[in-house]
Amino acid sequence: MASVAEIFKTMTYGPAPESATGALDWLKEHDATFGHFIDGEFTRPGESRFETTNPATGLLLATVSQGGDEDIERAVQAARAAQPGWEALGGHGRARFLYALARQVQKHSRLFAVLESLDNGKPIRETRDLDIPLVARHFYHHAGWAQLRDTEMPGAKPLGVIGQIIPWNFPLLMLSWKIAPAIAMGNTVVLKPAEFTPLTALLFAEICQRIGLPKGVINIVTGDGTTGAALVAHPDVNKIAFTGSTDVGRKIRQSTAGSGKKLSLELGGKSPFIVFEDADLDSAVEGVVDAIWLNQGQVCCAGSRLLVQESIEEKFLEKLRRRMDLLRVGDPLDKATDIGAIVAPVQLARITELVNAGVAEGADIFQGTCPASECGGCFYPPTLLTGVSPASTVVQEEIFGPVLVALPFRTAAEAVALANNTRYGLAASLWTENITLSLDIAGKLKAGVVWVNSSNLLDAAAGFGGFRESGFGREGGREGLWEYITTSYPSSAEERGKTGRGAATRNERAGEMDQTPKLFIGGKQVRPDSGYSLRVGDLEVGEGNRKDIRNAVEAARAAAGKWATTSGHGRAQILYYLAENLEQRAESFDADELQKSIEVLFACAAWADKYDGAMHRVAQKAITLAIPEPLGVIGVGCPAAYPLLGFISAVAPALAMGSVVVAVPSEINPIPATRLYQVLETSDVPAGVVNIVTGKQKPLLETLSGHDDVEGVWMIAAPKDLKKSVETLSAGNMKRLWTPESPLPDLQEALREATQIKNVWIPYTDELPW
């Protein structure tokens, strides 16, 4: 007689299909034809429509309206009209609606799960156990933040109308990530779902009606990229939140440049999955399954690059291949299916093309023996590519499919170098039983999310978002809320009026004026490359050019690593010392600005060792440490008003948080900034941490903005035309921009802008011994 173990091995699975009836009935109720959801009503389906099909079968599901400029206009107007009332409802009032949305999602979870599987092709096991529960979790969590906004974030105000554009890989989950925080904070939204997967958003719109959500708070306009572009271009939208490809993100960055719209971008990735020789290999294999075969690998944070220590490479890959043989590809509605359909033929073609390119470049391909799907739709088998080089196409490009590339490494240092060898920085997963090693590596990875001995864990309480070309901004957690509120205000008329004060004062002109100040680069006073000087009233300063900026960035980069790892305590001491030395030179500066600058330096020194980040309590058996990391090299365009205080108010928070700067002082009066050279030289500020290039702000900031080795550009109280060109140029490497209107922006905001949050997930249970 066969043993149970043998039976487990030889037993074949029968089908366990989830019924599609409920979802198909819902489509029938609507004649499988949909308009948009605007101002609380469904519009009549327009002339211009498109079809959405089931990728597993190729069969038509519904016809959906293609939103045009007029639809966007009406939706934005509805959102604008609804916004004051929604804000006036107060935190508790909004919390009640978010709670009602969460409850309705739970009540209709089966319908949502089936509809999502039909429209997207992802396995029902995932929509049922992951997507939809996380959607409900997001609304619950943000009901809490609505309730707490005014006590936890005093002074917070909503931004207004938010335009949101989402992709097709987690249609309803991305909707919840976008809508929940936005409306919790008192904004209203116009959301455009992806053209491949609009259906669950339309079902969600019905739920909004059912709970009596005030009209216009949530508007949903369906359509393709042109609809998205119209939303981005609409002048009455205050912010765009986008998730999707890096290419489209770049276009959006360019198109919003100079418009004053706030922007957050969650883009692509090529995330490393690192297995050290002392890892629990069986768990790590399951981790790989979650990392790259969840949702057919169509996940922005998919662990698509397996880095495995050479000593265990063969053993690990062998285990992995065996596991791959057991993965079941097929009908997404079958509860035993692991891998469903690819969202659309165009994506299938893209995956096939990239894998073929990899094989042509010499990769070995393994696709296991799992039977191919018999559904006849868009399927691609789980695939492992080995024998690849770090520079090959499949290692560098986001494939966005069930394709894993594997590379060996020898040492931990090599693992980090390989992991960071990408233009992206979204997520990373690392596996080792050695806690010292895991936390050491977690700190060194350039990624917004790091999972220790786990992978692809997502939760509303933890921030999610990338570094580098993976975009900027966070979704989830307290850090995600900052994307939807403002705490600083445009400069007052009085402050603007003070621009004239930028001109050199009598004090500032006393002494040393016979020589033209140089530039300050790498801790030294250097002559400008051009040899020219710039007239400022009847004085002169060195006129920096592109080459000087490049030298300054090089000096800043060289200093960045050491400054970032200097302790907060160490940085605080230097900032205090700077304040002390500034005071010694009181006669060189405007007395009022000097006094306030010293206060700012003290405040920044105070924060240097107190800006702690957070520990998030996520719903899984883990905690996440939300660690503010220094942004890196920041280019700073200082305001025209307050030539000293404006400079210090921008530069000091960056230094306090461990970033380094290339500052371009006020063009009207750069003299006080040049007086700082000697103060910096005598205050133990390491060479390269502060670099000052005087000259015409526009060309200098444009050079900084186009420079690939600069992580952020700040333009404080900059004129509109300057913002436009700098924002356009910044799209190259997706740098973070900060353009506060006030010449003396809010300190807390500056500290946030000087950092980026890395969320490190650590396995943890707080099971108490009683």
With respect to ligand NAI, which residue has the nearer C-beta, 323 or 350? Answer: 350
Select from 90-98, 245-253, 438-446, 646-654 the region that touches ligand NAI (CB under 6 A): 245-253
Q: Which is nearer to ligand NAI, 166 or 631 (CB)?
A: 166
Calculate the CA 197 to chain-centre distance.
Answer: 22
The residue (of 71 and 746) whose beta carbon lies closer to ligand NAI is: 71
Helix, strand, or coil here: 696?
A: coil
Shortest distance (Å) from residue 674 CB to ligand NAI? 44
Q: Is 734 in the site for ligand NAI (CB under 6 A)?
A: no
Q: 465 is written with which tokens?
A: 């978002």
Q: How far is the CB of 243 from ligand NAI (least distance, A)?
A: 5
Return the range that interacts with ligand NAI (CB under 6 A); candidates 108-116, 187-195, 596-604, 636-644.
Answer: 187-195
Which residue in the set 18, 116, 126, 195 belongs to the binding site for ligand NAI (CB under 6 A)? 195
182: left (phi over 0), alpha (psi -120 to 50) or beta: alpha
Whole-number Cα distances in Å, 291 to 228, 248, 272, 297, 401: 29, 24, 10, 8, 11
**Considering only residues 67, 91, 216, 244, which one is a binding residue for ligand NAI as defined by CB under 6 A?**
244
Among 113, 232, 582, 641, binds ligand NAI (CB under 6 A): 232
For ligand NAI, the closer of residues 463 and 637 by Cβ is 463
- CB under 6 A: which stretch of 90-98, 241-249, 614-622, 623-631 binds ligand NAI? 241-249
Strands, E, within 519-618: which ranges?
A: 519-521, 524-526, 533-536, 539-542, 614-617
Shortest distance, position 239 Cβ to ligand NAI, whole Å: 14
Query: Is the backbone of residue 271 left (phi > 0), alpha (psi -120 to 50) or beta?
Result: beta
Shorter beta-carbon distance to ligand NAI: residue 201 or 618: 201
Based on the shown chain and the rule CB under 6 A, indicate whether residue 229 belongs to the binding site for ligand NAI: yes
Phi, psi of 40, rounded to the nearest 5 degrees: 80, 0
Among 169, 309, 703, 705, which residue sits at the site for ligand NAI (rule: CB under 6 A)? Answer: 169
Catalytic positions: 266, 300
Q: Which is nearer to ligand NAI, 350 or 546 (CB)?
A: 350
* 466 touches ligand NAI by CB under 6 A: no
Residues 1-60 close enough to bind ligand NAI by CB under 6 A: none
C-beta of 195 vs 702, nearer to ligand NAI? 195
The residue from 23, 132, 143, 267 that contacts ligand NAI (CB under 6 A) is: 267
Residue nearest to ligand NAI (CB): 228
Sheet with 755-763, strands from edge to edge, namely 364-366, 383-386, 403-409, 303-309, 271-275, 427-431, 449-452, 755-763, 622-630, 614-617
Residues 347-366 interacting with ligand NAI (rule: CB under 6 A): 347, 350
Residues forming beta bridges with residue 274, ordered by sequence position = 307, 430
Say how many CA atoms lie within 13 Å of 26 toward its Cβ: 17
DSSP secondary structure letter of residue 619: S
Angle at which helix 171-184 crosses helix 199-210, to 10 degrees, equals 40
Question: Site residues for ligand NAI, window 487-506 (CB under 6 A)?
Answer: none
For residue 205, CA distances in Å to 13, 39, 46, 191, 226 come to 38, 11, 18, 11, 22
For 613, other C-beta atoms within 10 Å of its C-beta total 16
Q: Minimal distance in Å, beta carbon 353 to ligand NAI?
A: 11
3-state SS class at 535: strand
- CB of residue 173 to ligand NAI, shortest distance in Å: 11
CB of 141 to ligand NAI, least distance (A): 21
DSSP E strands, 559-619: 614-617
HEC secondary structure over 456-516: CCCCCCCCECCCHHHEECCECHHHHHHHHEECCCCCCHHHHHHHHHHCCCHHHHCCCCCCC
Site for ligand NAI in 380-439 (CB under 6 A): 398, 400
Q: Rounded to the nearest whole angstrom, what is the least distance from the CB of residue 261 to ligand NAI in the complex?
A: 13
Task: Compute the 3-state secondary structure of the chain and give helix, strand, coil in percent, each to the nearest 5.
Answer: 45, 20, 35
Smallest distance from ligand NAI to CB 400, Å: 4
Q: Which residues bind ligand NAI (CB under 6 A)?
A: 165-169, 192, 194-195, 224-225, 228-229, 232, 243-245, 248, 251-252, 267-268, 300, 347, 350, 398, 400
